[in-house]
Each structure stands twice: as structure tokens, then as C-alpha cells.
Amino acid sequence: MKVRASILIWKGNAYIPTMAPCENGLWSIIEPVIVTKPEMETLLPSIEEIIESNLNQQVVPDDNKRSNPILNATKARSWYKLAETGASYLIDWTDDQITINMTLPGKKNKFMFDKDKIKQFPSDTSIRDILSVILDDIHSRPETLTP
């Protein structure tokens, strides 16, 4: 995988963390987290900034003792709390395609990706077009936009 971006929508805000590859091949959420409104005019430059940052991340050690930047940014007590009324999106860029994974709404108080909502695009698809798909999903879930 070339680069990954994550967007969490909760209480009317978009939280976009920096992502770094781990030694074990997974991705880790690290600082900084950009907090913005879930609107094209604010999401687009924020995602572009995070993508650039994520492309330059070095591999980080597998370390479960790090604080969680998303919980710190949202001030939520747990991921379960975020999943109750939030939505999470993962965007993966490879040489061949771009994939968006979207979570199911309020599924047992934990984020679960919806296999039926996976979207794949050619690798030259614009970030604006990718964000349009995500924003359409966000607007179909008004609970994510309620402060």
C-alpha cells in the first residue's frame, strides 16, 4: 500500500489523523490530528496535507503503549463512544486503485466496515471525487453531524 488516510466524523467534526506504517505491516495513528468541519472546502486541503505527511512517514515500531491521538483530539472516553454516533472512513491509495472503506452505523458500539459499501476507483481519481462519495455517506448519517 502506498498511502492511507483516515477520516473520523463525530459530533459534527472531521478528525483526520496522520498515519504511519508499522513494522508489522499495519498502520498506526500518530500526531498530529487535523480537526475540521466535514465540508468539501475544509476537508480537501486537510486531506491533501495529511496525504503529503503520510507519504513521508517512516516505519514506526509496534508499540501499544502510545496514547491514542484520536481519543485525545475528540476527548471521547473510548472508541466505543465514538462508534455510537460516529462514522469512520479509510482511504487507501495503491499504484492500481483507490479504495474507500466505510463503517456501518452504530454497530454494537464498535466500528465495523461495511463490505457492501466498499468503493474502488482508478488510481487517477481526484481527491475531490473521493471526498464527494464520503460526504454523501456522511449526509446520509445525520447522527454524525450532531454536536
Residue spans of the domains in the chain: they are: 3-144
**Higher pLDDT, residue 43 or 31:** 43
- The mean pLDDT of the chain is 89
Segment 110-135 shows an average pLDDT of 95
C-alpha distances out from residue 61 to 25, 86, 130, Å: 10, 29, 30
Is 28 in a helix, a strand, or coil?
strand
| For residues 105-116, average pLDDT | 81
Q: With pLDDT > 70 as the criterion, what percentage of the chain qualifies?
A: 93
CA distance 94 to 118: 15
For position 26, what pLDDT does the model report? 82
Condensed to tens digits (0 to 9), the pLDDT of residues 68-110 reads 899 999 999 888 889 988 999 999 999 999 999 999 886 667 8
Average pLDDT of the segment spanning 51-72: 76
Q: Domain 3-144: which topology?
A: NMB0488-like fold (3.40.1590)
Contact by Cβ (8 Å): 54, 90: no
